[in-house]
Amino acid sequence: MNHMRTIVAGNWKMNTDLASAEALVEGLVKEAAAFPEGVEVVIAPPFPFLEMAVKRCTGARIIVAAQNCHHHEKGAYTGEVSAVMLKSIGVKACIVGHSERRQYSGESDKLIGEKAAALLAQGLTPIFCCGEQKEEREGGHHFDVVTEQMKGALGRFSNPELERIVIAYEPVWAIGTGLTASKEQAQEMHAHIRALLHTHGASVAERVPILYGGSCNPGNAEGLFAQADVNGGLIGGASLVVEQFLELVRIAGAAQVGSRQ
């Protein structure tokens, strides 16, 4: 799919402090002029470092995303951060439905859909995560699980809204474990997600990038990114090391050129 966008996004999770976050951003900004054409580079630092990241990334081909947001615009929700606030400091995208939020914060598909709606209402891009647990794959239910997550969270959206979403398939058993989905496992799930998108029409299927996430690193990314329906990666651990993240951006650029030939 040569016209498809390619994205490499770094999910820093609850890592870094101000000094190391600044160093990480600077390390990427310094190299941004050399990013391969056509690869969109996204970083998702923790909330306190977003504004710093936005300022330093201005003009540097790096998009700053948040890792979470609240589904309401404002009000008495102590400790929460709204999409309106994120927009006001120049954040352009936000991860929703990460398995760690599903697991530790009890987020349901319905709530995740509401968060995505709040982001779309502000013109921000939701990066919607889905993926099955180990037992679900072993039981052969992985396609059904992802179908349910997609329908439960994204079923409410019109086609023009769906076209503004980015999907990340992240098998839970592969996140932070060093276990990666094989390129065949990734491709068959990405093709399944693409087929689900296709039920909303060809233009949705053709426009929505589907990223792979889960122990993606410079050692395995080449095979994964070369798959027809893998449009880049959502990177956890390897996004905290400048050289590794830059290498993943380079690999994504080479995969994109490869798919055009």
Q: Which residues bind ligand PGA (CB under 6 A)?
A: 11, 170, 175-176, 213-216, 234-237
45 vs 204, which CB is nearer to ligand PGA?
45
Query: Residue of minimal CB distance from ligand PGA?
Result: 236
Among 170, 169, 166, residue whose Cα is nearest residue 208: 166
Active-site amino acid positions: 98, 170
Least separation in angstroms between CB 167 and ligand PGA: 13
CA distance 50 to 67: 10
Helix 50-57, helix 18-31: angle, nearest 10: 20
8 vs 118, which CB is nearer to ligand PGA?
8
113 vs 236, which CB is nearer to ligand PGA?
236
Please compute, for residue 47, the number of CA atoms within 13 A of its CA located in the half-sphere on the CB side: 10
CA distance 81 to 85: 7
Please compute, for residue 1, the number of CA atoms within 13 A of its CA located in the half-sphere on the CB side: 21
Q: Are the CB atoms for 49 and 18 separated by under 8 Å?
A: yes
Least separation in angstroms between CB 240 and ligand PGA: 9
- Chain center to CA of 59: 21
Residues 6+ apart with CB under 8 A from 175: 99, 100, 131, 213, 214, 215, 236
Least separation in angstroms between CB 199 and ligand PGA: 26
Least separation in angstroms between CB 36 and ligand PGA: 21
Among 19, 222, 236, residue whose Cα is nearest residue 129: 236
Least separation in angstroms between CB 27 and ligand PGA: 18
Determine the 3-state secondary structure of 128 from DSSP.
Answer: strand
53 vs 216, which CB is nearer to ligand PGA?
216
213 vs 253, which CB is nearer to ligand PGA?
213
